[in-house]
Amino acid sequence: GGNLGKPQNIPFLLKIIEKLQNYSKAEFVIIGNGMLHLRL
């Protein structure tokens, strides 16, 4: 936990967040650091 790198499949996570952006009850809390954390 806490690492945001290639194994965590950040592009997939971004697709899910994008698909749920119109749902007012959808919330994401992302805590961590790593190679790809700036993409979030």
Q: What's the pLDDT band for 40 if we cut at 50, 70, 90?
A: low
Q: Could you tell me the pTM of the whole model?
A: 0.60
Q: Which domain holds residue 30?
A: 6-39
Whether 3 and 33 have beta carbons less than 8 Å apart is answered as yes
- The verdict on residue 16 lying in a domain is yes
| Residue range 19-32, pLDDT digits in tens | 999 998 999 887 77
30 backbone dihedrals φ, ψ, rounded to 5°: -120, 115
| Residue range 4-15, pLDDT digits in tens | 777 778 889 889
Number of domains in the chain: 1
- The verdict on residue 1 lying in a domain is no
Tokens of 23: 């749902």
- The verdict on residue 12 lying in a domain is yes
